[in-house]
Amino acid sequence: MSKNQIASELSAPKHIAIIMDGNGRWANQRGLPRIAGHRAGAESVRRTVEGCKNLGIKHLTLYAFSSENWKRPESEIKALMQLLERFLKEKTKEMMAHNVRLNAIGRTDMLPKKTCAQLNKAIEKTANNTALTLNLALSYGSREEIVDAAKLIAEKVAAGKLSVDDIDNSTISSHLYTAGQPDPDLLIRTSGEFRLSNFLLWQLSYSEIVILDKFWPDFAESDLYDAVTHFHSRQRRFGAI
């Protein structure tokens, strides 16, 4: 199915989430340093954002740096942060041209000051764009997100602003970092691993999952279209018959 058919004939998923895995192994296979894999991965990010926009997808969430990634060697963390800064600096113009709004989810206050400043600058600049919301999950862990939501809810209960009896699914959803955005309809993970890796555990409850047996730097626009086509071929019943 062509991308035009996907975009026009079928209702596209509203929200796609991606675990971008395999940058290190991609580099390793080529005898390159791991950062070369991350650099190639950043190019895949650009292609994917463009592809999602072409398909009319309104929300894209990319797992760019997990809370566990802080355990990596300092040199790799530093290189990743520099890559992110450069990406934000260079791509803000493109995001403006394509009407893409940047958002970040995670404990972003843990990022280096310079990275955080660059991130906030891009978020502010693109705040009024409406075609696609690009959520970068940075210093993100889903359990931490749920803990943070529980704390916010507990504070409201303690202050008498919320009654325990009124807490339901929507209360939790509206206190997560993704508050106000629909849950992902589709999760894509590259590099063939069948794991959620502490990513959007609450939000992925009903998502379709596509695992691709290729590394993230090799993820092409055609893989995105195939995943979306596959998504349409699956019947989603949300527990009903």
Any idea which residues carry the catalytic annotation?
Answer: 21, 69
Kind plus residue range of the DSSP H or E element containing 170: helix 169-173
Instruction: Label residue 172 exposed, middle or buried (CB < 10 Å: 0-12, 13-18, 19+).
Output: middle
Q: Applying CB under 6 A, does 13 fall inside the site for ligand FPP?
A: no
- Residue position matching structure tokens 């009896």: 165
Q: Are the CB atoms for 225 and 3 separated by under 8 Å?
A: yes
Among 13, 15, 18, 22, binds ligand FPP (CB under 6 A): 22
Q: Pick the piece of the chain touching ligand FPP (CB under 6 A) from 17-25, 139-147, 181-189, 205-213.
A: 17-25
Question: Are residues 102 and 126 in contact, defined by beta-carbon separation less than 8 angstroms?
Answer: yes
The answer to whether 136 contacts ligand FPP (rule: CB under 6 A) is: yes
137 is a contact residue toward ligand FPP (CB under 6 A)? no
CA distance 146 to 172: 8
Given 25, 58, 107, 125, the residue binding ligand FPP (CB under 6 A): 25
- Determine the Cα–Cα distance for residues 60 and 52; give it in Å rounded to an integer: 8
Ranges within 199-218 binding ligand FPP (CB under 6 A)? 216
Per-residue contact flags (x/-) with ligand FPP for residues 142 to 181, judged by CB under 6 A: ----------------------------------------
Question: What's the CA gap between 102 and 80, in Å, rounded?
Answer: 18
User: Which CB atom, from 21 or from 183, has the smaller least distance to ligand FPP?
Assistant: 21
In the complex, the smallest distance separating the C-beta of residue 31 from ligand FPP, rounded to whole angstroms, is 14
Residue 41-80 contact track with ligand FPP, rule CB under 6 A, x = bound: xx--x----------------x-x----x-----------
Closest CB 72 distance from ligand FPP, rounded Å: 8
- Our CB check for ligand FPP shows the closer of 155 and 193 to be 193
- With CB under 6 A, what is the number of residues at the site for ligand FPP? 18
Instruction: Say if residues 216 and 22 touch (Cβ distance below 8 Å).
Output: yes
Query: Which tokens go with 212?
Result: 């691709």
* Rounded CA separation 20/45 (Å): 9
- Closest CB to ligand FPP among 6 and 119? 119
Grouping H, G, I as helix, E, B as strand and the rest as coil, residue 234 is coil
* Tokens representing residue 84 in the block: 């992110």
* Part of the chain binding ligand FPP (CB under 6 A), chosen from 9-17, 19-27, 148-156, 230-238: 19-27
Helix, strand, coil percentages (3-state) for the chain, rounded to 5, are: 50, 15, 35
| Number of H-type helices and E-type strands within the chain | 8, 6
Pick from 12, 17, 18, 20 the residue near ligand FPP by CB under 6 A: 20
Applying CB under 6 A, which residues contact ligand FPP?
A: 20-25, 38, 41-42, 45, 62, 64, 69, 83-84, 87, 136, 216
